[in-house]
Structure 1
Amino acid sequence: MSKIAFIGGGNMATAILGGLIENGYNSQNILVSDSSQEKLVQLKDQFKVQTFNDNQAAAEQADIIMLAVKPQVMQQVIAPLATTFKNKKPLIISIAAGISLESLSKWTDPSLAIVRCMPNTPALVQKGASGLLANSNVSATQKQLTDDILKAVGLSVWVNSEQDLDAVTALSGSGPAYFFLFIEAMINAGEKLGLEAETAKLLALQTALGAATMAAKSADEPAQLRKNVTSPNGTTEQAILTFQNLKLEDTVSKAMQAAFNRSIELSEELGK
């Protein structure tokens, strides 16, 4: 079993290592390095993983390195590890937004196998969606290893370019916030219609969960599912027509384009 070192023990790292352990991965093959002693104690107590306050010590023992630090400090964190990476030749998986494969190779070594991963916050409840992009040094076996790790917290899909990963960022990376906003709006509207706040919240949350579950399990496309519940001259039709008259689809497209553009900007800023 490969040893995985998490450089950074924040929420996303915790979600991934927790998912791995829940799916049968030996906790003694998981190493975590973090600057926060409090975080390390918490992870050791909760998951029985090996913990370090020295990135070098963790990296030297690992076959897979999971880079889980903030994008703004990525270069200063991994630059001192470049020699170790070059000698050990681990598979490197970065979950830092905005840091391109080119930048990661430049800051370490161009011969390394590196995967960029764009996860999202539902990984915290093992319902995540991750976009993956590999450089040319990543083997088929290493791709499968990456899949196995990320599937512990949801689904993963491979894309072909940095631009594709910017699109993933705009869709699934930022996407949970779009749904939270819509749920929030439904709750507020329910209250305005006279429902108690807690009743409106319960109904909105269950409706969102039910609709997503139906869409995921049904053989029908979402458009057909929508048509199935939109009776002519009915209540749903009036709501849908209102959304369409107010150009909901156009608004969603513009919002995702803005997120896509910002993802590209961040990559350029952080890669300097």
Structure 2
Amino acid sequence: MYIITDQLRENGFSVIRLDQIIKRNNNIRKFNTLEYFCIYIIMEDLQLIVENTSHNIPAGNIVFVGPQKKVEFLKAPGYEVFVITFSSTFFERSIKDSLVINSQLFFNYNSEIFIAPFTNIHEMRVVFIDRMESFRKKDKSLYLSAAHNAIERLMLDAFLHIPTEEVKKDIKFDYLYCVNKFKVVLQRDYKTAKKVSHYASELNVTPRKLTEMTEYVLGKSAKHIIIEKLITESKKMLSYSNHTISQIAYELGFSDEGNFTNFFKKHTKKNPSEMR
């Protein structure tokens, strides 16, 4: 992400304009969301790259990005983009909060982001941005309560844009929660840890239990998800970076180029060189 603000460190929440974030980051436009959840209120057209995938976001949309994601804002002034950042500890105060925060808004299995439109830019500015600033100046406890309510409102409105059949899926909440945590840890550790046992240990479950949960929620074993992640990242690096295959192998945590080539060919039926 960038140098964490005192507000975010102390309260687990912050709202700030994108141009101010970029300025704090020495004008570097690349960030990592770390353990935080991010909501971007887009009031000017913006090109956003998340995990090496480019998205053109027109003004009038809200973008939801989960933890441990690499984000880059391509050249846009940023005066009309507001970044809301918060921790799970800040937001989760009830079972309902947990269900919302662990939903497809932040853990969208088909994309690294979730986009939902809003209809009135002026209303968004007055009701949300200006109102939040008024609370901030008035009283800290009121401000944090208002922040929680505002985030909840944004997320519930966005839920209207999730297909009904997806919302109604009967998924055990504890399984969903653990699988989403697995995806966050995988995003963080996939370069250095490739065994199911590592992730199971991080989540305080057995490897067998983790696979049971991933198969229930995603229809795939935990091992398959790790392999998918490695293949996806390999393809991105082979297609978009100037690194040699040997450098890519090292970057992804393989012992040598041959090991990486065998892994890639086994799971894609292609040599890495065919992706260049």
User: How would you bin the TM-score normalised by the shorter chain?
Assistant: under 0.3
The structure whose RCO (Cα within 8 Å, separation 6+) is larger is 1
TM-score of the aligned structures, taking structure 1 as reference length: 0.23
Name the TM-score, length of structure 2 as normaliser: 0.23
Higher helix share: 1
Larger radius of gyration: 1
